[in-house]
Amino acid sequence: MRPPTRLRLRLRDLGCGAGFGAMAVSGQLPAWTLGVFGLSLLLALLGRRVLGQRTLASALLLLGSAAMLYVQVTREGLDPVVAASAFAALVAAQRLLSTPSPATDGHVHLVGLLMIAGGAALSGDLPFALCLIAFTVLSCLSMGLSAIEAVVPEEERVPVREALGPLSVGVLFAVLGAITFFILFPRVSWNMASRRGSAGLGVATAGFADKVRLGGSGTIKSNPRVVLRAQLTPDPGADTLNAHWLGRTFDTFDGTEWSSVGEPLPPRQVVTLRRGGEGLVHQRLELLPAYGARTLIALETPARLGNGYTVSGADRQRLGLVRVGTSEVRFATDGSGFFYEAYSMPGEAAPVPDAMSIPERDQLLALPMGLDPRVGALAEKVLAGEQDPLRAAHKLEAFLQREYRYTLELGGDVEDPLADFLFGRKEGHCEHFATALTIMLRTQGIAARLATGFYGGERVQDGYIVRAGDAHAWTHVLVPGQGFVTVDPTPPDYRAAQPLAVLEALVTLYERMENLWRAAVVDYSFRDQMQLASALVRPPRERGPEGARGQVPLPPARAWAAALAVGLAVYATWRFATRARQRTRPLDATRFLEAVERRLARAGVRPQPQEPLERLGARLEAEGHPLGPALRPVARRYLEARFGGRPLQEGEAARLLATLAHPPPRKGPPPSPGPRAP
């Protein structure tokens, strides 16, 4: 048996690796699975098939792995889809390290396809799409080269370079055909069977914690990853939102970190923070896996939140909402991504939450023990006797923005970070500005608290996205008769994300591709197919000023383009069929092979099972059969016509068949007795 070409094996192994990557990018596979498959793939690419002679031992290892995964599913709660995907990876690793053979090749390709299915079930995100494309191209090329190897005589060189061009064209047409089938064949949304995967690029981070420690470098401001998507009603229509997205508030400061005295309440499906009035802003929100926290986010100031769920496999799992204190709402359980709705009150002022307790009100004036007396003295000097809470807050806001500089480049922790900011460095990030304003107001008897969340929002299609770098902190001032009013002392130019330009461009490109992939593939359904067909052929109808139907206009340009494309496709099909009918029968390589087999059958020559034409010729020549020498050029010409891109010319097939009817006489000594052609 001919040894397989090195290129074909590497294409096969890399295609299997792409199938494994489709699962691995979800971030849900056990870590040991990554190590086992990665090592197996490396050994396979180096040509070390260490399990070639250890079939029984490797089968026992697979059996033991299956038992271990079963125990983890039944006793430890491992997701069955994750367990099945991990076992598929182990089977693939065992096949990669086995001796190459046609059966092994089939197993590798099959288990690679199963891993692609596992990846689709685990996430289906954009990295999965890249792995899917890589698997398709690599596996198709490998299988094409395998088919060519099977028909080339062992003593001849396999035309790998010559075949790669036609094979690549074939793969391209196969992909285009698959895309056409995907668009036209009735289907349901992929979201019915996929789930949210990992956080994507890097670890999940939203900057939320039960406490906020004053200090640090504020590196989250340079993180450009998208953590939230929102659709607003009414739609503001602006390219950029100058809005605060509230996550939680803090009322207790001990000199170095903020915390809250609020306690969690029992879970509910809908949480009402305050009684809303007219003109509430409705939001449909999605917290992406990159968010990495359970705190719900809503536009300032949230009034009601509910309808929360996460997607797990084909199911939407509804989640309870837990209210913590006066302002924070959390999901009751963890999830890789969340969906929910929220209603917010417009404007910067909002009434005091209905459930604010007396201890929480008292904490709005609490000062840390050992507070530097210079903080109160500075606030008193700046306010110059101003007692109105809102005017006092704006006075201090202007002072901080004018006299202090924003920076993310801070040193290590200091004993008194607030005093260090106000009287030492005189520079800091949003947490320093918001803390300074809040504590300075409290020193003058004005109730205030620290608020954290995000600031900004970028327009993408019909909604807005918020990035991790948009994480922000500001101050809530309690104004009698108005409630909590938002006052943000951070300089306006530094409130939103501040990523590096190159990194922001790359992540923005990735997010746009991710949105396109989800809209065009993952969320594509039968409804989208109907809308596409309707948009192509149905022109808009106009109405007169009184609502009467006006004249039907001509079809839109897209309808003409669709009709032109269909016409060209019909014409191309007709031309192809016409040329196919005009071709003479011998010019078809497959029909030529059938004619050769019939001629050999009349001569009493029967090929062995699965014996290609060129090997039959070599065997006949070795046996001294008179058709042996004549069959070799016939077999070579058939391979050129079938795989080499050199079709048979008019009359050439007839001449080659004639050589089989009248083979040339052999030169040299008479052959040994054997079957003779009539």
Assess whether 276 and 150 both reside in one domain.
no
* Contacting residues for 297 by C-beta, under 8 A, at least 6 apart: 228, 245, 246, 247, 285, 287, 453, 454, 466
Mean of the per-residue pLDDT values of the chain: 80
Percent of the chain residues past pLDDT 90, beyond the cut? 29
Assess whether 308 and 437 both reside in one domain.
yes
Question: Is 522 within the bounds of a domain?
Answer: yes
Assess whether 368 and 254 both reside in one domain.
yes
The reported pLDDT for the residue numbered 559 is 62
The reported pLDDT for the residue numbered 1 is 52
Question: Is 78 within the bounds of a domain?
Answer: yes
Assess whether 459 and 514 both reside in one domain.
no
CATH, residue 361: 3.10.620.30
Beta bridge partners of 344: 281, 302
Assess whether 177 and 256 both reside in one domain.
no
pLDDT value at 676 more than 50? no
The reported pLDDT for the residue numbered 353 is 58
Assess whether 9 and 114 both reside in one domain.
yes
The reported pLDDT for the residue numbered 201 is 47
Question: Is 280 within the bounds of a domain?
Answer: yes
Question: Is 553 within the bounds of a domain?
Answer: no
The distance from CA 503 to its chain's CA centroid, rounded to whole angstroms, is: 18
Q: pLDDT by residue (tens digit) across 223-261?
A: 777 889 999 999 998 989 989 999 999 999 999 899 888
The reported pLDDT for the residue numbered 528 is 65
pLDDT bracket for residue 523 (50, 70, 90)? low
The total of structural domains in the chain comes to 4
Question: Is 557 within the bounds of a domain?
Answer: no
pLDDT value at 314 more than 70? no
Mean pLDDT within 379-389: 92
For residue 231, give its domain range: 211-215+226-490
The reported pLDDT for the residue numbered 499 is 58
Assess whether 366 and 314 both reside in one domain.
yes
Burial of 47 (0-12, 13-18, 19+ CB in 10 A): exposed
The reported pLDDT for the residue numbered 350 is 60
Distance CA 263, CA 566 (A): 65
- Residue (of 509, 511, 463, 493) closest to 242 by Cα position: 493
Question: Is 333 within the bounds of a domain?
Answer: yes
Assess whether 477 and 592 both reside in one domain.
no
The reported pLDDT for the residue numbered 185 is 66
Q: pLDDT by residue (tens digit) across 100-140?
A: 888 889 999 999 999 998 888 887 777 888 899 999 999 99
Lowest-confidence region among 184-193, 408-417, 437-446: 184-193
- Residue (of 407, 411, 469) closest to 433 by Cα position: 407
Question: Is 323 within the bounds of a domain?
Answer: yes
Assess whether 308 and 178 both reside in one domain.
no
Question: Is 262 within the bounds of a domain?
Answer: yes
Assess whether 423 and 520 both reside in one domain.
no
* Contacting residues for 140 by C-beta, under 8 A, at least 6 apart: 167, 170, 171, 174
Mean pLDDT within 559-587: 63
Q: Tell me whether strands 298-299 and 244-250 are parallel, antiparallel or unpaired.
A: antiparallel
Distance CA 21, CA 135 (A): 9
Q: pLDDT by residue (tens digit) across 608-624?
A: 887 888 788 888 888 88
Which is more confident, 229 or 541?
229
Assess whether 52 and 88 both reside in one domain.
yes
Last residue of a domain, one of 428, 463, 490: 490
Assess whether 475 and 619 both reside in one domain.
no
Q: pLDDT by residue (tens digit) across 639-667?
A: 888 777 678 887 888 888 888 876 655 55
- Residue (of 411, 432, 528) closest to 474 by Cα position: 432
